[in-house]
Amino acid sequence: MPELPEVETIARGLALRVSGDVIESVWLGRKPEPLKSSAREIAATLEHSRIATVRRMGKHIVFDLELKLPKQASAHWIVHLGMTGRLQVCEPQADILKHTHAILKLASGRELRFVDPRRFGRLSVAHAGFEAGGIEPLEADLDPFLALFRGRKTPIKSALLNQKLLRGVGNIYADESLFRAGIRPRRRASTISRDQLARLLASVKEVLREAIALGGSSISDYVDADGEEGFFQLQHRVYGREGEPCLVCKTPIKRIVIAGRSSHYCPRCQK
């Protein structure tokens, strides 16, 4: 499942490739699951609009559109990749992959295609501003970050994964951030000191920025034709390392389950 750094990388890659291009026509498949807005509305919004830019919001990819219609100056096409969704920019003669749910013909002659075998991805359009909910972890200041956890009795790990609080922090990055901040995943959010939360915010930003930096070189894996997904990986310090020695103190890494998700931590470095 693509997490925030992957989605950021994909959005940047798309921005480089399709900004300024005009969508000439839209084909949508018959499967209903990927369409969060109606097919008619998606097609009517996208056709003849110009892609001003592409950006990430949480784990959504947002295409900012300039419409030709005189009434509404702008709109957004929002793509959530779900588990297995992919956006391809390709030449029209490229084979149409199985599980292709949308094909946008661009004025540049290329096509932008949405492919999703498992169909957890979602396509929608918005005419007013699009709000993903939660705060953006990479742009969060300390005070709003502290406010997220005030009085919250859930484990800090669950709070980090709560998309209504923070946008787009997934399981791996939550575990890695908690390790760097020295906080056990099961600690109740409300019992963590201001200083520790400040360290946690710094760790979340650091982990996400490192992963985004690593992703810069693999953009083509996501958005070019038929590349298999090749998600880059941060060097994990705890995630997926159950029983292996902690890289700091050599204590075996533990794995527990919190709210149905695997959580990895060092019982000595994290308190």
Active site residues: 2-3, 59, 261
Residue 253 interacting with Zn ion (CB under 5 A): no
Question: Closest separation between CB of residue 208 and Zn ion, Å?
Answer: 22
DSSP helix/strand/coil, 85: coil
Question: Closest separation between CB of residue 187 and Zn ion, Å?
Answer: 16
Q: Which is nearer to Zn ion, 41 or 244 (CB)?
A: 244
Is residue 263 within 8 Å of residue 173, measured between CB atoms? no
Residue 266 interacting with Zn ion (CB under 5 A): yes
Residue 238 interacting with Zn ion (CB under 5 A): no
Among 61, 125, 201, 269, binds Zn ion (CB under 5 A): 269
The residues pairing with 166 across neighbouring beta strands, listed in sequence order, are 135
At residue 196, what is the residue type? Answer: Q
Residues contacting 241, CB < 8 A, separation 6+:
253, 264
Mark out the alpha helices in 60-101 (DSSP H runs): none
Question: Closest separation between CB of residue 122 and Zn ion, Å?
Answer: 39
Residue 4 interacting with Zn ion (CB under 5 A): no
Residue 268 interacting with Zn ion (CB under 5 A): yes
Could you tell me how far CA 18 lies from the centroid of its own chain?
19
Residue 107 interacting with Zn ion (CB under 5 A): no
DSSP state of 155: B
Q: Which two tokens stand for residue 51?
A: 């892609």
Could you tell me how far CA 122 lies from the centroid of its own chain?
13
Residue nearest to Zn ion (CB): 246
Question: Closest separation between CB of residue 175 and Zn ion, Å?
Answer: 13
Residue 245 interacting with Zn ion (CB under 5 A): no
Q: Which is nearer to Zn ion, 142 or 248 (CB)?
A: 248
Burial readout 178-213 (b: 16 or more C-beta within 10 A, e: otherwise)? bbbbbbbbbbebeebeeebbebbbebbbebbeebbe
Report the largest interatomic distance among the alpha carbons of the chain, rounded to a whole angstrom.
65
Residue 246 interacting with Zn ion (CB under 5 A): yes
Kindly determine how many residues on this chain lie close enough to bind Zn ion according to the rule CB under 5 A: 7
Which residue ranges make up the site for Zn ion (CB under 5 A)? 246, 248-249, 251, 266, 268-269
